[in-house]
Copies of this chain bind each other. A is one copy, B any other.
Amino acid sequence: MHPNSVRLLSAIAVVVGLFMAFSAGALAQSDPLSSWNDGAVKASITGFVARVTEDGGPDFVAPERRIAVFDNDGTLWSEQPIYFQFQFALDRIKAVAPEHPEWKDTEPYKSALAGDVQGLMAAGEKGLVEILEVTHAGMTTDEFSKTVADWLETARHPRFDRPYDQLVYQPQLELLAYLRANGFKTFIVSGGGVEFMRVFAERAYGIPPEQVVGSSGVVKFEMGADGKPVLIKEPKVEFVDDGPGKPVGINRFIGRRPIFAFGNSDGDQQMLEWTAAGDGARFMGIVHHTDAAREWAYDRQSHIGKLDKALDEGMARGWTIVDMKADWKVVYPPAP
Protein backbone atom coordinates (compact mmCIF):
# COMPACT_ATOMS: atom_id res chain seq x y z
CA MET A 1 0.00 0.00 0.00
CA HIS A 2 1.19 3.51 -0.80
CA PRO A 3 2.45 5.40 2.28
CA ASN A 4 -0.15 8.15 1.78
CA SER A 5 -2.95 5.60 1.83
CA VAL A 6 -1.53 4.14 5.01
CA ARG A 7 -1.47 7.60 6.55
CA LEU A 8 -5.07 8.23 5.49
CA LEU A 9 -6.24 4.92 6.99
CA SER A 10 -4.33 5.67 10.18
CA ALA A 11 -6.03 9.04 10.42
CA ILE A 12 -9.41 7.37 9.95
CA ALA A 13 -8.54 4.83 12.63
CA VAL A 14 -7.60 7.58 15.07
CA VAL A 15 -10.84 9.46 14.41
CA VAL A 16 -12.92 6.29 14.78
CA GLY A 17 -11.03 5.39 17.97
CA LEU A 18 -11.61 8.83 19.46
CA PHE A 19 -15.29 8.63 18.58
CA MET A 20 -15.68 5.23 20.21
CA ALA A 21 -13.86 6.36 23.36
CA PHE A 22 -16.09 9.42 23.56
CA SER A 23 -19.24 7.35 23.08
CA ALA A 24 -18.23 4.87 25.79
CA GLY A 25 -17.60 7.78 28.14
CA ALA A 26 -20.96 9.33 27.33
CA LEU A 27 -22.62 5.95 27.86
CA ALA A 28 -20.97 5.44 31.25
CA GLN A 29 -22.13 8.88 32.32
CA SER A 30 -25.77 8.50 31.27
CA ASP A 31 -27.30 6.16 33.83
CA PRO A 32 -30.58 4.77 32.44
CA LEU A 33 -31.90 4.58 36.03
CA SER A 34 -30.66 7.98 37.14
CA SER A 35 -33.70 8.65 39.37
CA TRP A 36 -32.93 5.55 41.44
CA ASN A 37 -30.52 6.01 44.32
CA ASP A 38 -27.60 3.60 44.36
CA GLY A 39 -28.08 0.71 46.75
CA ALA A 40 -29.38 -2.83 47.08
CA VAL A 41 -32.70 -2.15 45.38
CA LYS A 42 -31.22 -0.59 42.26
CA ALA A 43 -28.50 -3.27 42.17
CA SER A 44 -31.13 -6.02 42.32
CA ILE A 45 -32.71 -4.60 39.17
CA THR A 46 -29.54 -4.04 37.17
CA GLY A 47 -28.08 -7.34 38.37
CA PHE A 48 -31.16 -9.26 37.25
CA VAL A 49 -31.22 -7.61 33.83
CA ALA A 50 -27.50 -8.24 33.37
CA ARG A 51 -27.93 -11.95 34.22
CA VAL A 52 -30.88 -12.67 31.92
CA THR A 53 -29.37 -10.79 28.98
CA GLU A 54 -25.86 -12.29 29.20
CA ASP A 55 -25.61 -14.32 26.02
CA GLY A 56 -24.37 -17.79 26.95
CA GLY A 57 -24.67 -17.09 30.67
CA PRO A 58 -26.40 -19.55 33.02
CA ASP A 59 -29.46 -17.30 33.50
CA PHE A 60 -29.86 -16.14 29.89
CA VAL A 61 -33.48 -15.72 28.77
CA ALA A 62 -34.35 -15.46 25.06
CA PRO A 63 -35.79 -12.01 24.21
CA GLU A 64 -39.26 -13.34 23.34
CA ARG A 65 -39.55 -14.69 26.90
CA ARG A 66 -38.54 -11.43 28.56
CA ILE A 67 -42.06 -10.55 29.70
CA ALA A 68 -42.30 -7.80 32.35
CA VAL A 69 -45.62 -6.97 34.03
CA PHE A 70 -46.46 -3.89 36.10
CA ASP A 71 -49.47 -3.10 38.20
CA ASN A 72 -50.67 0.46 37.48
CA ASP A 73 -52.33 2.14 40.51
CA GLY A 74 -49.62 2.75 43.11
CA THR A 75 -46.95 1.07 41.00
CA LEU A 76 -46.72 3.26 37.89
CA TRP A 77 -48.79 6.24 39.02
CA SER A 78 -50.30 7.45 42.31
CA GLU A 79 -53.59 6.17 43.72
CA GLN A 80 -54.34 8.68 46.53
CA PRO A 81 -56.49 10.15 47.91
CA ILE A 82 -58.75 7.91 45.77
CA TYR A 83 -58.08 5.78 42.71
CA PHE A 84 -57.82 8.15 39.78
CA GLN A 85 -60.34 6.15 37.78
CA PHE A 86 -62.85 6.56 40.59
CA GLN A 87 -62.24 10.30 40.56
CA PHE A 88 -62.95 10.18 36.82
CA ALA A 89 -66.28 8.45 37.60
CA LEU A 90 -67.21 11.09 40.19
CA ASP A 91 -66.35 13.87 37.75
CA ARG A 92 -68.48 12.21 35.08
CA ILE A 93 -71.43 12.01 37.48
CA LYS A 94 -71.13 15.77 37.96
CA ALA A 95 -70.81 16.35 34.24
CA VAL A 96 -74.00 14.49 33.31
CA ALA A 97 -76.00 15.41 36.45
CA PRO A 98 -78.00 18.16 34.67
CA GLU A 99 -79.62 15.39 32.61
CA HIS A 100 -80.57 13.54 35.82
CA PRO A 101 -82.34 15.96 38.21
CA GLU A 102 -83.49 13.00 40.32
CA TRP A 103 -79.87 12.35 41.37
CA LYS A 104 -79.96 15.30 43.76
CA ASP A 105 -82.03 13.29 46.21
CA THR A 106 -80.88 9.73 45.43
CA GLU A 107 -77.89 7.82 46.79
CA PRO A 108 -75.22 7.12 45.77
CA TYR A 109 -75.51 10.11 43.40
CA LYS A 110 -76.27 12.62 46.13
CA SER A 111 -72.98 11.84 47.93
CA ALA A 112 -71.11 11.63 44.64
CA LEU A 113 -72.31 15.09 43.61
CA ALA A 114 -71.39 16.48 47.04
CA GLY A 115 -67.91 14.93 46.75
CA ASP A 116 -68.77 13.12 49.98
CA VAL A 117 -66.53 10.04 49.85
CA GLN A 118 -67.63 8.93 53.36
CA GLY A 119 -71.26 9.02 52.26
CA LEU A 120 -70.33 7.01 49.18
CA MET A 121 -68.57 4.40 51.26
CA ALA A 122 -71.73 4.17 53.40
CA ALA A 123 -73.66 3.39 50.21
CA GLY A 124 -71.60 0.21 50.11
CA GLU A 125 -70.21 -1.80 47.22
CA LYS A 126 -73.56 -1.78 45.42
CA GLY A 127 -73.45 2.02 45.30
CA LEU A 128 -69.87 2.12 44.06
CA VAL A 129 -70.62 -0.42 41.34
CA GLU A 130 -73.63 1.67 40.29
CA ILE A 131 -71.41 4.76 39.96
CA LEU A 132 -68.97 2.81 37.83
CA GLU A 133 -71.67 1.28 35.65
CA VAL A 134 -73.44 4.58 34.99
CA THR A 135 -70.18 6.26 34.00
CA HIS A 136 -68.58 3.36 32.11
CA ALA A 137 -71.50 1.86 30.17
CA GLY A 138 -74.37 2.78 27.88
CA MET A 139 -72.09 4.23 25.22
CA THR A 140 -69.82 3.06 22.42
CA THR A 141 -66.19 2.21 23.11
CA ASP A 142 -65.15 5.21 21.01
CA GLU A 143 -67.39 7.56 22.99
CA PHE A 144 -66.00 6.26 26.27
CA SER A 145 -62.39 6.76 25.14
CA LYS A 146 -63.20 10.33 24.24
CA THR A 147 -64.66 11.11 27.69
CA VAL A 148 -61.49 9.74 29.30
CA ALA A 149 -59.25 11.74 26.97
CA ASP A 150 -61.25 14.93 27.66
CA TRP A 151 -61.07 14.32 31.41
CA LEU A 152 -57.31 13.87 31.31
CA GLU A 153 -57.09 17.17 29.43
CA THR A 154 -59.11 19.16 31.95
CA ALA A 155 -59.05 17.48 35.38
CA ARG A 156 -56.37 18.38 37.95
CA HIS A 157 -55.24 16.41 40.97
CA PRO A 158 -56.39 18.20 44.18
CA ARG A 159 -53.02 18.05 45.93
CA PHE A 160 -50.55 18.59 43.10
CA ASP A 161 -52.72 20.62 40.70
CA ARG A 162 -51.42 18.61 37.75
CA PRO A 163 -53.18 16.45 35.17
CA TYR A 164 -53.54 12.93 36.56
CA ASP A 165 -51.40 11.35 33.86
CA GLN A 166 -48.47 13.52 34.93
CA LEU A 167 -48.50 11.89 38.36
CA VAL A 168 -46.58 8.90 37.04
CA TYR A 169 -43.39 7.78 38.73
CA GLN A 170 -40.25 9.03 37.02
CA PRO A 171 -38.11 6.11 38.33
CA GLN A 172 -40.61 3.65 36.88
CA LEU A 173 -40.63 5.43 33.51
CA GLU A 174 -36.87 4.94 33.47
CA LEU A 175 -37.24 1.31 34.49
CA LEU A 176 -39.76 0.63 31.70
CA ALA A 177 -37.45 2.19 29.11
CA TYR A 178 -34.44 0.34 30.54
CA LEU A 179 -36.24 -3.01 30.33
CA ARG A 180 -37.36 -2.36 26.76
CA ALA A 181 -33.82 -1.33 25.79
CA ASN A 182 -32.79 -4.75 27.10
CA GLY A 183 -35.26 -6.65 24.95
CA PHE A 184 -38.13 -6.91 27.43
CA LYS A 185 -41.75 -6.52 26.37
CA THR A 186 -43.50 -4.40 29.03
CA PHE A 187 -47.15 -4.95 30.02
CA ILE A 188 -49.57 -3.35 32.45
CA VAL A 189 -51.58 -5.87 34.49
CA SER A 190 -53.93 -3.81 36.63
CA GLY A 191 -57.25 -3.96 38.44
CA GLY A 192 -58.10 -0.73 36.63
CA GLY A 193 -60.37 -0.69 33.61
CA VAL A 194 -58.59 -1.79 30.47
CA GLU A 195 -60.34 0.77 28.25
CA PHE A 196 -59.63 3.55 30.73
CA MET A 197 -55.89 2.83 30.87
CA ARG A 198 -55.46 2.36 27.14
CA VAL A 199 -56.30 6.01 26.57
CA PHE A 200 -53.05 7.21 28.16
CA ALA A 201 -50.79 4.14 28.56
CA GLU A 202 -48.98 4.60 25.28
CA ARG A 203 -48.36 8.31 25.76
CA ALA A 204 -47.55 8.10 29.48
CA TYR A 205 -45.59 4.84 29.63
CA GLY A 206 -44.75 3.84 26.07
CA ILE A 207 -47.00 0.79 26.54
CA PRO A 208 -49.30 0.22 23.53
CA PRO A 209 -52.99 -0.71 24.00
CA GLU A 210 -52.40 -4.35 23.12
CA GLN A 211 -50.02 -4.66 26.08
CA VAL A 212 -52.52 -3.39 28.64
CA VAL A 213 -54.36 -6.04 30.69
CA GLY A 214 -57.11 -4.88 33.02
CA SER A 215 -60.62 -5.32 34.33
CA SER A 216 -63.41 -5.10 31.78
CA GLY A 217 -67.14 -4.91 31.28
CA VAL A 218 -69.21 -6.77 28.74
CA VAL A 219 -69.04 -5.24 25.26
CA LYS A 220 -71.56 -5.97 22.53
CA PHE A 221 -71.24 -5.72 18.74
CA GLU A 222 -74.13 -3.92 17.06
CA MET A 223 -74.76 -2.83 13.51
CA GLY A 224 -75.59 0.87 13.58
CA ALA A 225 -78.52 2.40 11.73
CA ASP A 226 -76.03 3.95 9.28
CA GLY A 227 -74.64 0.50 8.39
CA LYS A 228 -71.55 1.13 10.50
CA PRO A 229 -70.93 -1.35 13.31
CA VAL A 230 -70.31 -0.14 16.86
CA LEU A 231 -69.21 -1.75 20.11
CA ILE A 232 -71.52 -0.89 23.01
CA LYS A 233 -70.29 -0.98 26.60
CA GLU A 234 -72.85 -2.75 28.78
CA PRO A 235 -73.36 -2.26 32.54
CA LYS A 236 -72.07 -5.70 33.47
CA VAL A 237 -68.70 -6.65 34.90
CA GLU A 238 -66.97 -9.26 32.78
CA PHE A 239 -63.56 -9.73 34.37
CA VAL A 240 -61.86 -8.41 37.50
CA ASP A 241 -58.12 -8.34 36.97
CA ASP A 242 -57.15 -8.23 40.64
CA GLY A 243 -55.72 -10.65 43.17
CA PRO A 244 -56.05 -14.22 41.83
CA GLY A 245 -57.51 -12.64 38.68
CA LYS A 246 -54.08 -11.26 37.74
CA PRO A 247 -52.42 -14.59 36.91
CA VAL A 248 -55.65 -15.50 35.11
CA GLY A 249 -55.46 -12.24 33.13
CA ILE A 250 -51.80 -12.85 32.35
CA ASN A 251 -52.64 -16.32 31.08
CA ARG A 252 -55.54 -15.04 29.03
CA PHE A 253 -53.98 -11.98 27.44
CA ILE A 254 -50.26 -12.72 27.37
CA GLY A 255 -50.14 -16.51 27.39
CA ARG A 256 -46.64 -16.59 28.84
CA ARG A 257 -45.43 -16.46 32.41
CA PRO A 258 -43.58 -13.21 33.17
CA ILE A 259 -40.02 -13.27 34.44
CA PHE A 260 -40.34 -9.79 35.96
CA ALA A 261 -43.28 -8.43 37.98
CA PHE A 262 -43.79 -5.21 39.93
CA GLY A 263 -46.70 -4.42 42.23
CA ASN A 264 -47.47 -2.44 45.38
CA SER A 265 -50.40 -4.07 47.17
CA ASP A 266 -51.98 -7.32 48.28
CA GLY A 267 -53.89 -7.27 45.00
CA ASP A 268 -50.57 -8.02 43.32
CA GLN A 269 -49.61 -10.92 45.56
CA GLN A 270 -50.80 -13.73 43.28
CA MET A 271 -49.21 -12.09 40.24
CA LEU A 272 -45.91 -11.98 42.11
CA GLU A 273 -46.32 -15.59 43.27
CA TRP A 274 -47.16 -16.73 39.76
CA THR A 275 -44.08 -14.96 38.41
CA ALA A 276 -41.89 -16.39 41.19
CA ALA A 277 -43.05 -19.96 40.56
CA GLY A 278 -41.53 -20.20 37.08
CA ASP A 279 -38.17 -21.76 36.27
CA GLY A 280 -34.95 -19.79 35.96
CA ALA A 281 -34.13 -16.24 37.02
CA ARG A 282 -37.07 -14.18 38.32
CA PHE A 283 -37.57 -10.63 39.57
CA MET A 284 -40.36 -9.69 41.95
CA GLY A 285 -40.64 -6.06 43.06
CA ILE A 286 -42.93 -4.15 45.41
CA VAL A 287 -43.26 -0.37 45.71
CA HIS A 288 -43.61 0.48 49.40
CA HIS A 289 -45.19 3.91 49.83
CA THR A 290 -43.05 5.48 52.55
CA ASP A 291 -42.89 9.09 51.46
CA ALA A 292 -45.61 11.30 52.94
CA ALA A 293 -43.72 14.44 51.99
CA ARG A 294 -43.30 13.82 48.27
CA GLU A 295 -46.14 11.33 47.73
CA TRP A 296 -47.96 9.31 50.45
CA ALA A 297 -47.05 6.88 53.20
CA TYR A 298 -49.41 3.92 53.65
CA ASP A 299 -49.38 0.14 53.79
CA ARG A 300 -51.02 -2.37 56.15
CA GLN A 301 -53.99 -0.26 57.28
CA SER A 302 -54.80 1.56 54.04
CA HIS A 303 -58.18 1.19 52.34
CA ILE A 304 -56.50 1.98 49.06
CA GLY A 305 -53.51 -0.05 47.99
CA LYS A 306 -53.38 -2.10 51.19
CA LEU A 307 -49.97 -3.76 51.46
CA ASP A 308 -49.89 -6.34 54.23
CA LYS A 309 -49.67 -10.02 53.28
CA ALA A 310 -47.68 -9.31 50.14
CA LEU A 311 -45.20 -7.27 52.19
CA ASP A 312 -44.71 -10.16 54.61
CA GLU A 313 -44.28 -12.65 51.79
CA GLY A 314 -41.96 -10.33 49.88
CA MET A 315 -39.71 -9.81 52.90
CA ALA A 316 -39.70 -13.52 53.74
CA ARG A 317 -38.81 -14.54 50.19
CA GLY A 318 -36.29 -11.84 49.43
CA TRP A 319 -38.29 -9.95 46.84
CA THR A 320 -37.16 -6.41 46.04
CA ILE A 321 -38.99 -3.93 48.28
CA VAL A 322 -38.65 -0.35 47.07
CA ASP A 323 -38.57 2.16 49.93
CA MET A 324 -39.90 5.13 48.00
CA LYS A 325 -38.37 7.70 50.31
CA ALA A 326 -34.94 6.12 50.33
CA ASP A 327 -34.70 4.61 46.85
CA TRP A 328 -36.20 7.25 44.59
CA LYS A 329 -34.37 10.53 43.95
CA VAL A 330 -37.53 12.07 42.52
CA VAL A 331 -41.09 10.80 42.43
CA TYR A 332 -42.77 12.61 39.53
CA PRO A 333 -41.29 13.92 36.28
CA PRO A 334 -40.84 17.69 36.09
CA ALA A 335 -43.85 19.52 34.70
CA PRO A 336 -43.55 19.72 30.91
Q: Which residues of A contact B (CB under 8 A)?
A: 2, 4-5, 8, 64, 67, 141, 185, 187, 194-195, 198, 202, 208-212, 216, 219-221, 223, 228-229, 231, 244-245, 247-248, 251-256, 270, 273-274, 277
Q: Please determine whether A194 and B4 come into contact, CB atoms closer than 8 angstroms.
A: no
Distance in angstroms from A285 CB to nearest chain B CB is 18
Q: Please determine whether B185 and A252 come into contact, CB atoms closer than 8 angstroms.
A: no
CA distance A93 to B8 in the complex (A): 75
Closest to A185 in B: B210
Q: Please determine whether B2 and A255 come into contact, CB atoms closer than 8 angstroms.
A: no
Closest to A277 in B: B228
Q: Please determine whether B253 and A210 come into contact, CB atoms closer than 8 angstroms.
A: yes
- Say which residue of B211, B247, B256, B273 sits within 8 Å of A209 (CB atoms): B256
Task: Please judge, given known A-B contacts A5-B5, A256-B210, whether A219 and B248 are in contact too, CB under 8 Å.
Answer: yes
Which of A5, A194, A210 has the most B CB atoms < 10 Å from its CB?
Answer: A210
Pairs across A and B, CB under 8 Å, 21 listed: A2-B4, A5-B8, A8-B8, A64-B208, A194-B252, A194-B255, A195-B251, A209-B254, A209-B256, A210-B254, A212-B255, A219-B248, A219-B252, A221-B247, A221-B270, A223-B273, A229-B273, A229-B274, A229-B277, A231-B247, A231-B274
CA distance A244 to B229 in the complex (A): 10
Distance in angstroms from A226 CB to nearest chain B CB is 10
CA distance A210 to B248 in the complex (A): 14
Closest to A219 in B: B248
Residues of chain B with a CB closer than 8 A to A185's CB: 210
CA distance A255 to B207 in the complex (A): 12
CA distance A209 to B210 in the complex (A): 12
Task: Please judge, given known A-B contacts A4-B5, A208-B64, whether A195 and B274 are in contact too, CB under 8 Å.
Answer: no
Q: Please determine whether A210 and B208 come into contact, CB atoms closer than 8 angstroms.
A: no
- Say which residue of B64, B67, B209 sits within 8 Å of A255 (CB atoms): B209
Residues of chain B with a CB closer than 8 A to A228's CB: 277
CA distance A248 to B194 in the complex (A): 13
CA distance A231 to B210 in the complex (A): 23
Distance in angstroms from A196 CB to nearest chain B CB is 11
CA distance A141 to B256 in the complex (A): 11
Residues of chain B with a CB closer than 8 A to A223's CB: 273
Q: Please determine whether B221 and A255 come into contact, CB atoms closer than 8 angstroms.
A: no
Q: Please determine whether A248 and B270 come into contact, CB atoms closer than 8 angstroms.
A: no
Residues of chain B with a CB closer than 8 A to A187's CB: 210
Task: Please name the 5 residue pairs, one residue from A and one from B, whose CB atoms are nearest each other, closest first.
Answer: A209-B255, A221-B244, A4-B4, A210-B254, A198-B255
Closest to A243 in B: B221
Residues of chain B with a CB closer than 8 A to A67's CB: 210
Distance in angstroms from A45 CB to nearest chain B CB is 23
Distance in angstroms from A209 CB to nearest chain B CB is 3
Residues of chain B with a CB closer than 8 A to A202's CB: 64
Q: Please determine whether A229 and B270 come into contact, CB atoms closer than 8 angstroms.
A: yes
CA distance A141 to B208 in the complex (A): 27
Closest to A187 in B: B210
CA distance A203 to B59 in the complex (A): 23
Closest to A199 in B: B255
